[in-house]
Amino acid sequence: MAVKNPGEPFTRITSHEAKIMMDVESAVAVIDVRALDERTSGYVSGSIHIPVDDIITRIDQLPKDKKLLFICAAGQRSGLACEMAAAMGLEEERLYNIEDGTPTWIGLDYPTSYGD
Of 81, 74, 69, the residue nearest 23 (C-alpha): 69
- Per the CB < 8 A criterion, the answer to whether 110 and 14 are in contact is no
Q: Is the dihedral of CA 44, 49, 53, 56 positive or negative?
A: negative
pTM (global) more than 0.85: yes
User: CB of 32 within 8 A of CB of 43?
Assistant: yes
d(CA 74, CA 11): 15
Query: Domains plus CATH for the chain?
Result: 11-113 (3.40.250.10)
| pLDDT value for 1 | 86
pLDDT band at 116 (very low <50, low <70, confident <90, very high): confident
* pLDDT for 36: 94
Q: What is the pLDDT of residues 17-61, one digit of tens each?
A: 999 999 999 999 999 999 999 999 999 999 999 999 999 999 999
Looking at residue 115, its pLDDT comes to 87
